[in-house]
Structure 1
Amino acid sequence: MKVFRWALLWLILIGACQQGYSQYIDIKTAEPSLKKKYQKAVTYYQAGQNDKAIAEFKKLLDKNPFFIDAALMLGSVYYDLRNFDQAETYFQKVLMLNPKYNQKVYYTLALTNYQNRHFQQAANNLKVFIDLKFGNPELLNRAKLLYPTYHFADSASRTPVEIEPAQVTGINSELNEFLPSLTADGRTMVFTRLSADHQEDLFISYRGENDLWSTPVPIDELNTAMNEGAPAISGDGNTLVFVSCHRPGGLGGCDLYVSYRRNNQWTAAVNLGERINTPAFESQPCIADNGNILFFCSDRIGGIGGRDIWMSVRGKKNEWTKPVNLGSPVNTAGNEECPFLHQDGRTLYFSSNGHIGMGGMDLFLSRNEKNKIWSQPVNLGYPINTPLDESSFVAFYDGKKALMASDRLFQNEKDPQKIKKINLDIFELTIPEIVKPVPSCYIRFNVVDAKDNHPLPATIELFRIEDKKLIVSEILGASGQKTFSLPGGGIFAINISHPGYQLLSEQFDCTANSRFNPSYKIWAMKPIGKEEVRVVLKNIFFSSGSAELQPESFFELDHVIKILKTDSNCKIHILGHTDNIGSEETNELLSGRRAESVAAYLISGGIEKSRITSEGRGEKEPVADNSTEEGRRQNRRTEFLIKH
């Protein structure tokens, strides 16, 4: 502030009176009594007594409205106070009195226009200043660096996105709140709060049925006398990765740590180790792909700018691989921070001051295309981004809304001339259509024994039918419970297996389940006994009127082959069923041929022919009403009778 104050004084002192503007008065031509009053006001300004300085400069202008130096100084005082409305008024008055009085006025006015979001005027005034080729090379270069931002702000403000972020009620305080993270259901938020004594701590809040957030409470198990913040919580709320600085045993100033929720308590935090952490700065993690991908920012050696975004993948032995830099076009010579990969698996949001934007840290989007290359980042637009700092963008699963952090300005209602203290606060907004992620969802598993309901550490496999991609293949923990993100919508095949238990086969339509209406059920697995067992395979597909297996069926049948190979004592009888469309004779023949196709696939996978028989039942054994499409869909099925 002192530097700016003296720079402005220098601006006044070097101002040169220009011929042809005889109606204005400057400090050189003013009468001695006027100079004395002017110097008194300047002395107040130099002493930091801004209220007195404003009063004196206003008295001068009331009696001498053409006193150009008084107008310039009054604008300068208001600029110091961040009262940009008043500053703009008096800087414009200077140019009105004499546009050639001092070239630097165009630069200062451009800064003021920009703060008032008068972006067109800001760009125009900065362009005038550049074209005048001001004699200070350093200031001229600074103006040239600013111009792309001002030009972008002008363009973006002409085509604003139809959205205005709103503060999240119940979360924000007079302190700074930022870096939020959400569970899959959007009902739990963890975030960072910075206290008045510059202590960062982790806080948690829960969203009630009335959609209001509870009073945030500190996570005492994880907070220490050091700084903890930048949390990333898993979809099920049971894993938390966060940053802590200067902890004993750490590898650098700020490292990433992990904690797990057990019996409603957070376990002791564990450093993620030297693969992830270095003597440099690591922070702002994002857990993606059901905990298998970790994004974070770091200024470690090997980057291409200040802070870059890095990525690590969980290996086969559950260890994190060596992080790789996302590179260009995401990372720049500036700073890229706060990465968030949406559950669609391809939409990355982040903040940056290295890409051209509205100024400060802006929010951007890049998509991971099918060729695995990140697209050129796109600015989220105005007024999501402003001349201030925006960061911490976290989208809900359905892709409709998001949270973000910003230090936006708010007028003091009691005194409009004074600006409320700037805080980082958390905002909620509707995501503009052009920068929305693909709507995604999640599914919760609770797998138990059908007889006594004890939990089973079953194997879960989730296969997206549309692109034949295996999304999840994981063994549940001892609790038998887990929440999985399902990227990008679509219909998923589900296989649940466990040694000694019957295979469970289901389908899940992600598009029909939003974040507030997820699939959650208890999956009861029946132990395999000596009695005959009937299993319906819900992910066997044929072309219409054909016995040819569609490729989407191979995932489920390959799973059956694995089970048959591990249980060599069982034999299976394959039953094909149809709906009632067509003649009974045709349906029986078709169902028989389809059962034979399934048998042939199993045999081709290495299962002995002697263990497999097949039969077509046609439309004889419906399990649902054939008068509806849903009923007919259920009746078109493949069943296995398993015998030991």
Structure 2
Amino acid sequence: MLNKRLIMNKITIYIAIVFMGFSDLGIIAQTPKSPLSRVINVSGTTQIAPSLSGDGKHMIFTTTDNLKRELLVFYSYQQRPGKWTQPQPVTAVNRSQKINHLGGYSLSYNGNYIYFTSRKTYGIGKYDIWYSKRTGNNKWSTPTNLGRPVNSAQDDGCPSLSPDGKTLYFVRCQSMNQKEGSDCQLMMVKRRNQDYWGEPEALPDHINDGNILSPRILADNQTLLYAKGQGDSWDLYQTRRTVNGWTQPVALDYLNTAGDERFASVPAQGDVIYYSTKFKGTYDIIKARIPEEFQPLKVVYLKGKVVDRQGLPLEAFIQIYDVEDKSLAQYHRTKQNDSGFEFYVPAGKKYDFSVVPLTPNYTFYSEIFDLCELTVSIRKKLDIELENLDKGITFPLQCLQFENDSTLSNTSRLEMSRLIKLLKNNPGTQIEIAVHRDSWETDSVLQVDTTLVQVDTTLVQVDTTLVQVDTTLVQVDTTLAQVDTTLFEELFITESSLQAIDSLQIPQDIPAKPKLDPTEIQAQAISRYLQERGVPDYLLEPKGYADSQPVAVNDTEEQRILNRRVEIRIL
């Protein structure tokens, strides 16, 4: 009995010690949290300001775990969940350590850029925003000043680049030192092109109602975290950009304590947050579960490359359109020496994704992403191989959909525009328009309405106007620099070209026959539509294959969807 009592007493004492030891982290009252491994949180040293890449595998942070016990920026890679490599110093940033703003940096979502805050020479103001590009494994280029108008005569810092690389969030302060800033406003600025930025603007007053530092835009490109406070007392807040503007900020009380919570980072998965807080006298980096109501929108993380049949990189335009309103949500142009791409596509909408090569004599790729019901963030690897337009090559029109036997859906406008451009850019190319369906009983074929539908037979010229990039002079440092005038090739689909794509219906002079297979009607409807847009009829061979060439066994709805398809074959 005595031994049992002693054991129970020891267990009670042990539990009390555990709860006391972790009470500073608020595990009981708040949300599940755990410190990162001792590879990162070295005992007796300070670790603050984690910033992670979108995939959660790359992290930079500030630590005193070095010979001089100085606060330096280090880099680590997560080999598997919870297994981090031995951190290594980021020399390109640490060279100016004594004049950098501590924690005033961020790692881009693709892990290829570090944006940081420094008083380096040849700047615009006192503290400016600089960036360094990855050139190898933890090797970074000589830092470059971001220039005007982002940097100003005031103190500018704490940059955070949006996942699409098009918007930068930062703070502009009346004064800033190595540890903090005062009278700091949260700003945003949009990129004009690869090298130049527009004019920064402050976020609304209901957000800028105090001293702001350390903004972080999340992977959905809508949820924004930032810290508000002064001295050693900072709390984290969150707001979200909607169609009606920015929402009222909400304090992250599942993390905030009476101490200092200023630095946080959320990978694209969106269910955990990395932040630094004081634990037993020093700061450690903590990983915490984000309550559902605070999580950003779910996203699909698309990563891949565009290559030809030999696996060589191809230059191409990649476009993601909102299917409902036909607006261009995201785009990217791959390069000859870098055909890779990354996108973070938020849930709640249906998207038209396409890859159109700059070299005309290649096929294009398209796909519909329906993210309306997405409940968890996912990763999708998408390596795309485009074929030369050689005889016999077949490629699908995956974004072409029919509302019924004879009418193309409104979502097909973009796909038809791509096909028209391909044919116009490759004169004389003959194609077969092959329409397939899933199998069904012969006597269940729907009776086709024999009413003739009147359509406008006027030839509509697809707008081939090249889009001119704004050539406004942009001030960089003290030198006027002319923005590079880039002409977007005709392959890039513009809004004016979309307006030329009308509703698509069966032409009036195609005789509708009772029990005519719908694939024949659909193939002829596509053919006539192309003819009305200037494609000669002798280049088009519409053909309906009914259910004679299935690509799946047709037992499930998913398999039947695969069998219902439209393909283009080069003749």
TM-score (norm 1): 0.65
Distance 1:467 1:395, change over 3 A: farther
Worse-superposed segment, 210-219 or 596-605? 596-605
SS at match of 1:518: strand
Partner residue in 1 for 2:339: 480
Trace 1:543-558 onto structure 2 (pairs within 5 A).
Answer: 543=403, 545-558=404-417
**Pick from 91, 95, 116: which aligns with 1:242?**
116
CA distance in 2, matches of 1:281, 1:349: 21
* Structure 1 residue 398: Cα displacement: 2.2
* Structure 1 residue 325: Cα displacement: 0.5
SS at match of 1:361: strand
Partner residue in 2 for 1:368: 241
8 Å contact kept, 1:161–1:381: no
8 Å contact kept, 2:432–2:540: yes
**Overall identity of the aligned pairs, in %:** 26
CA distance in 2, matches of 1:596, 1:300: 67
Q: CA RMSD in A?
A: 3.0
8 Å contact kept, 1:192–1:230: no
8 Å contact kept, 1:398–1:441: no
Partner residue in 2 for 1:378: 250
**Pick from 127, 133, 140: which aligns with 1:254?**
127
* Structure 1 residue 377: Cα displacement: 0.6
SS at match of 1:632: helix
Letter in 1 for 2:186: I
CA distance in 2, matches of 1:599, 1:361: 64
**Pick from 288, 313, 320: which aligns with 2:162?**
288
Trace 1:411-560 onto structure 2 (pairs within 5 A).
Answer: 421=281, 423-450=282-309, 452-465=310-323, 468-477=326-335, 478-488=337-347, 492-498=351-357, 499=359, 500-508=361-369, 518-529=379-390, 531-543=391-403, 545-560=404-419
8 Å contact kept, 2:355–2:366: yes
Letter in 1 for 2:111: G
CA distance in 1, matches of 2:134, 2:168: 19
Letter in 2 for 1:616: G
CA distance in 2, matches of 1:194, 1:253: 25
* Structure 1 residue 315: Cα displacement: 1.2
Letter in 1 for 2:319: E
Worse-superposed segment, 219-228 or 496-505? 219-228
Distance 1:642 1:325, change over 3 A: same
1:359-403 Cα deviation digits (max 9, x unpaired)? 9321111111113x1011111224x11111212222221221111
* Structure 1 residue 508: Cα displacement: 4.9
Partner residue in 2 for 1:220: 91
SS at match of 2:418: helix
8 Å contact kept, 1:236–1:482: no
Distance 1:608 1:346, change over 3 A: farther
Partner residue in 2 for 1:347: 223
Letter in 1 for 2:395: V
1:244-294 Cα deviation digits (max 9, x unpaired)? x22121122221112222344322211100211123222211111411111
8 Å contact kept, 2:161–2:168: yes
1:465-484 Cα deviation digits (max 9, x unpaired)? 46644333221122211222
CA distance in 2, matches of 1:389, 1:437: 23
* Structure 1 residue 335: Cα displacement: 0.9
CA distance in 2, matches of 1:588, 1:595: 12
Trace 1:268-347 onto structure 2 (pairs within 5 A).
Answer: 268-299=142-173, 306-316=183-193, 318-332=195-209, 334-347=210-223
Distance 1:277 1:603, change over 3 A: farther
1:590-614 Cα deviation digits (max 9, x unpaired)? 2223233433544455545554342
SS at match of 2:527: helix
* Structure 1 residue 240: Cα displacement: 2.3
Trace 1:68-217 onto structure 2 (pairs within 5 A).
Answer: 162-169=30-37, 170-173=39-42, 174-193=44-63, 199-217=70-88
* Structure 1 residue 200: Cα displacement: 4.3
Letter in 2 for 1:396: P
**Pick from 530, 535, 553: which aligns with 1:625?**
553
Partner residue in 2 for 1:89: none
Trace 1:42-53 onto structure 2 (pairs within 5 A).
Answer: none
1:540-588 Cα deviation digits (max 9, x unpaired)? 1222x44322222222222222222322232333221111135375586
CA distance in 1, matches of 2:199, 2:565: 46
Distance 1:464 1:624, change over 3 A: farther
**Pick from 258, 269, 273: which aligns with 1:402?**
273
Trace 1:582-597 onto structure 2 (pairs within 5 A).
Answer: 582-583=441-442, 586=446, 589-597=517-525
Partner residue in 1 for 2:440: 581
1:7-39 Cα deviation digits (max 9, x unpaired)? xxxxxxxxxxxxxxxxxxxxxxxxxxxxxxxxx
CA distance in 2, matches of 1:344, 1:324: 21
Number of residues paired by the alignment?
Answer: 460
CA distance in 2, matches of 1:638, 1:561: 15
Letter in 2 for 1:362: D
Worse-superposed segment, 590-599 or 185-194? 590-599
8 Å contact kept, 1:180–1:231: no
SS at match of 1:631: helix
CA distance in 2, matches of 1:501, 1:381: 54
Matched, 1:231 2:100: no
1:327-355 Cα deviation digits (max 9, x unpaired)? 221111x211221222212211111139x
Partner residue in 2 for 1:151: none
* Structure 1 residue 495: Cα displacement: 1.9
8 Å contact kept, 1:343–1:440: yes
8 Å contact kept, 2:239–2:247: yes
Trace 1:605-644 onto structure 2 (pairs within 5 A).
Answer: 605-643=533-571
8 Å contact kept, 2:362–2:386: yes
SS at match of 1:208: strand
1:103-148 Cα deviation digits (max 9, x unpaired)? xxxxxxxxxxxxx99xxxxxxxxxxxxxxxxxxxxxxxxxxxxxxx
* Structure 1 residue 425: Cα displacement: 2.8
CA distance in 2, matches of 1:317, 1:398: 27
Partner residue in 2 for 1:150: none
SS at match of 1:364: strand
8 Å contact kept, 2:104–2:159: yes
8 Å contact kept, 2:96–2:120: no
8 Å contact kept, 1:235–1:484: no
SS at match of 1:390: coil
CA distance in 2, matches of 1:286, 1:561: 40
* Structure 1 residue 233: Cα displacement: 2.1
Higher-helix-fraction structure: 1
* Structure 1 residue 311: Cα displacement: 0.6
8 Å contact kept, 1:191–1:231: no
8 Å contact kept, 1:441–1:485: yes
Worse-superposed segment, 569-578 or 223-232? 223-232
Distance 1:397 1:561, change over 3 A: same
CA distance in 2, matches of 1:481, 1:514: 25
